Amino acid sequence: MNSIKYRDEDFQLKDGTLLKSRIWFPQGNGPWPTLLMRQPYKREIASTVTYAHPSWWASNGYLVVIQDVRGQGGSEGVFSGFSQEASDTSQTHNWVRSLPECNGLLGTYGFSYQGLTQLIAEEGTPPPDCIIPAMTGLSEDAHWSCEGGAFWWHLGIGWGLQLAAQKAQREKNWTAWHEIRENLESKKYLFNGHELLKKNDPEGMAYKWLNLSSRKNLQWKTHKPLDSWLIKPLLLIGGWWDPHLRGIIDIFEKAKKAGGNPKLLIGPATHLQWWEGAQLTQLNFFDSHLKEKNKEILSKKISLWNLTTKNWELSVKSKTPAWNLRSKGLASISHLEGGLVPNSDSQENGEVNLVHDPWRPIPAIGGHLSDTPGEANRFNLDIRPDVAVFTSIPFLNDLRLEGIPTLFLETKCDRESFDLFVALSIIPNELENTANQLSTGVLRIVNCDKGIKSPRKITLQPVLATFKQGDRLRISISGSGWPAIGINPGQSQYLCEGPSPHCLVTTISLLLSKSKLKFESLISS
């Protein structure tokens, strides 16, 4: 790989804007099949935070093109986010295929922002020969900025400030750059991030999404890939602890509906930390479709990593039991009092009063939205008196749970706005002080009628786990998940952001008579 060479090259769009790309060349004589990534974080980085360096892909016989999107890195123009990418993607594909070193075959790869640049193009644009989008989505609401009506606070603010810092660097505004960097390192951004975005990047995606999330009449954009692209060989990569997982599953379903035969991998990954072997899996996919090698690779449509057995498995649609929540009122003060009862029809499951104190909010740990994503033992959170905990009896037999955990219950509250942050955990057999968190979810309720009971539905992150004989299942409910989501002040005239004097102590009553925990299908079609 030391002998791999590269060069920078400009491509001029129809409007005269120059886009800068870095191109890596395999050894020997071309032309070669080409891999393209279009990203906003400077072509020199080439997403090496998650991907092998372009020279590695080139050493495996691919011409590799990493392009700075409009207004980023060395490319000209003004960066306006996703709205610019359909036209720029279409023109870039035509240019790449015209390169003398390209043999006409084109594959695309990349995650997050560069996952979406692979999927949107102008009508009539010839599709790539194969596509590997990872950890991305189409809805700027559900897949990019919010969950259950709550803005991704830590993630959304942090990403927005990263883009704001790049903007400051392009403009040589060193004061702004250092201010942003200092606030990120000190974590002050969790408290003043809204004002920092307004000051440094008021037209940026993150600031616009944050403001949209607090409005009553939402006007969110959902991007629409061309069906002709979705039916091409498509490998979708997701992570159990990645915030875009539902977006990847949504793309999988859309591709199937369009008549495609997509492949789906969901592995033990956060947004930035992937599993061993992910690079070779993608290389084999490219080899299969761009070089006609390794045809047997990824013959299975869906492969999932089991969070407890630590093995890859096939998706299996099977009926799973449902559970009801039960308590005599002490589930928040005693972590062993609340129960999960299989398929109970009892109307006497009780009521639990949960007090959310914004002075000492329940932190979010692990999972897909927190600032410490991944696996986590939440035992020390579950024993707090401001967390309502419901635990099953030990399972008599092994139980495989695959799907989307969904909690139904009724609530009432003494404020007009509140949050429900829910975690699902496994209590391993004979392990003390252990509650291994498998999934989390959130629901933000605004402008509700005080003291009036209403039904609620909280959808958690998808999961696959096998509970062994003697293990127990647990649901934990709190009124906050800081800093994954902002603190709900309980008053509609204030934003849900960092803790402030405007945040009120809130009492949430969990009415359990109609409560139910069930697992909805991972793939609906």
Q: Distance of CA 281 to CAs 288, 303, 409, Å?
A: 11, 12, 42
Q: What is the pLDDT of residues 16-65, one digit of tens each?
A: 999 999 999 999 998 999 999 999 999 999 999 999 999 999 999 999 99
Residues of the chain with CATH 2.60.120.260: 323-520
Q: Are 18 and 75 in contact (CB under 8 A)?
A: yes
Residue percentage of the chain with pLDDT more than 90: 91
| pLDDT the model gives residue 490 | 95
Q: What is the pLDDT of residues 285-331, one digit of tens each?
A: 999 999 977 654 555 799 999 999 999 999 998 888 999 999 999 99
Is it the case that residue 525 has pLDDT exceeding 70? no
What is the spatial distance between Cα 225 and Cα 214, in angstroms, rounded to a whole number? Answer: 28
CATH 3.40.50.1820 given to domain 5-138+225-305: yes
Quick one: average pLDDT of 495-523? 95
Quick one: average pLDDT of 418-424? 98
What is the spatial distance between Cα 280 and Cα 297, in angstroms, rounded to a whole number? Answer: 11
Q: Say whether the peptide bond before residue 243 is cis (omega within 30 degrees of 0).
A: no
Q: What is the pLDDT of residues 85-144, one digit of tens each?
A: 999 999 999 999 999 999 999 999 999 999 999 999 999 999 999 999 999 999 999 999
Q: Are 158 and 453 in contact (CB under 8 A)?
A: no
Is it the case that residue 348 has pLDDT exceeding 70? no
| pLDDT the model gives residue 297 | 54
| Tally of CB atoms within 10 A around 8 | 12
Q: Are 439 and 421 in contact (CB under 8 A)?
A: no
pLDDT band of residue 1 (cuts 50, 70, 90) is very low
Q: What is the DSSP string of 144-203?
A: TTEETTEEBHHHHHHHHHHHHHHHHHHTT-HHHHHHHHHHHHHTTHHHHHHHHHHHH-TT
Q: What is the pLDDT of residues 438-480, one digit of tens each?
A: 999 999 999 888 889 999 999 999 999 999 999 999 999 999 9
SS3 breakdown of the chain: % helix, strand, coil, rounded to 5? Answer: 20, 35, 45
**Residue among 458, 387, 479 at smallest CA distance from 148:** 458
pTM of the model: 0.96
Which residue is listed with tokens 């599993």? 275
Q: Which residues contact 491 (CB under 8 A, 6 or more apart)?
A: 415, 416, 417, 502, 504
| pLDDT the model gives residue 98 | 97
Under DSSP, the state recorded for 487 is B
CATH 2.60.120.260 given to domain 323-520: yes
- β-bridge mates for residue 367, sequence order: 374
| pLDDT the model gives residue 299 | 59
Residues of the chain with CATH 3.40.50.1820: 5-138+225-305
| pLDDT the model gives residue 3 | 80
